[in-house]
């Protein structure tokens, strides 16, 4: 397990070990696990609502047309992709990969899930980013807002996973709260809960990593 005092000390040391730059450097949390047989298909793909999201938040792409597309645009998502664009990108592997990398989360009109699967599925699937399907009339604004305040932490057949927990603009206490939310979410997916944590690492983009071992009860 990792307690708040331990995480706060890690964030403090990581911030001190980070040279100043003219941009807000991202803070990343890495969790290293133990005593799990990855050959048995172990995987984690969690979307975690952060109590303290950054100003810009996560990037959301909505694949929709008509009313849902208009509502998504009004909600201020980073990209609304209509069927014509989806078809074009589907024939350009380089652009498809670039699109998948550029966005953290994808939402799709349920009626577009089949063409999304054909065009972007080969690129979204391996990244664990397949879209959340929405039926007609679903509150796309609310869902997009929730995702913009979230982060994804993912691991497949390996014992470590990383995710962004904020940036330098957040206080140490806010970053600790975000890290705690991610750890709690992952813990629920582990066979033995917090006993499967080996250590945690926190670092900023240009800084040195700070590692701490999990505490035993």
CA 109 to mean position of chain CA atoms: 21
pLDDT in tens, 101-112: 999 999 999 999
Averaged pLDDT for residues 127-143: 91
pLDDT at 165: 97
- Tell me the CATH architecture of domain 60-147: 3-Layer(aba) Sandwich (3.40)
Q: Which residue has the higher pLDDT, 31 or 39?
A: 31
At residue 217 the predicted structure's pLDDT band, cuts being 50, 70 and 90, is: low
Question: Which CATH entry fits the domain spanning 4-55+150-213: 3.40.630.30, 3.30.190.20, 3.40.50.300, 1.20.140.10?
Answer: 3.30.190.20
User: Strand 160-167 to strand 197-204: parallel, antiparallel, or no bridges (unpaired)?
Assistant: unpaired
- N- to C-terminal Cα separation, the chain: 8
**What is the average pLDDT value for the chain, to the nearest integer?**
93
- DSSP per-residue string spanning 65-83: -HHHHHHHHHTT-SEEE-H
The residues near 184 (Cβ < 8 Å, ≥ 6 apart) are none
pLDDT at 15: 96
- Candidates 191, 183, 189, 151; CA nearest to 167 is 151
For residue 4, is pLDDT > 90? yes
The string over 75-112, giving b where at least 16 C-beta atoms fall within 10 Å of a residue's C-beta and e elsewhere, is bebbbbbebeebeebbeeeeebeebbeebbbbbbbebb
pLDDT in tens, 156-198: 888 999 999 999 999 999 999 999 999 999 999 999 999 999 9
Tokens found for residue 172? 């140490």
Same fold for the domain at 4-55+150-213 and the one at 60-147? no
At residue 208 the predicted structure's pLDDT band, cuts being 50, 70 and 90, is: very high
In the chain, where the domains are located: 4-55+150-213, 60-147
Averaged pLDDT for residues 21-43: 92
How many Å apart are CA 103 and CA 143, to the nearest integer?
A: 15
pLDDT in tens, 51-94: 999 988 999 999 998 899 999 998 889 999 998 898 888 889 99
Sole residue written with tokens 């080969």: 122
């Amino acid at each position: 397990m990792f307690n708040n005092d331990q995480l706060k000390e890690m964030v403090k040391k990581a911030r001190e070990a980070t040279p100043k730059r003219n941009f807000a450097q991202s803070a990343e949390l890495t969790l290293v696990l133990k005593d799990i047989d990855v050959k048995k298909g172990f995987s984690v793909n969690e979307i975690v609502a952060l109590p303290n999201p950054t100003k810009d938040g996560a990037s959301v792409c909505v694949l929709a047309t008509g009313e849902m597309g208009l509502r998504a645009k009004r909600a201020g998502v980073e990209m609304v992709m209509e069927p014509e664009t989806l078809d074009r990108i589907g024939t350009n592997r380089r652009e498809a990969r670039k699109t998948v990398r550029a966005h953290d989360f994808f939402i799709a009109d349920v009626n577009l899930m089949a063409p999304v699967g054909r065009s972007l599925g080969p690129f979204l699937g391996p990244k664990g980013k397949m879209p959340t399907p929405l039926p007609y009339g679903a509150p796309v604004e609310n869902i997009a807002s929730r995702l913009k305040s979230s982060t994804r932490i993912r691991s497949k057949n390996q014992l470590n996973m990383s995710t962004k927990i904020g940036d330098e603009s957040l206080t140490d206490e806010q970053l600790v709260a975000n890290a705690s939310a991610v750890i709690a979410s992952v813990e629920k997916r582990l066979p033995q809960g917090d006993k499967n944590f080996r250590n945690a690492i926190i670092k900023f983009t240009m800084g040195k990593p700070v590692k701490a071992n999990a505490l035993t009860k």
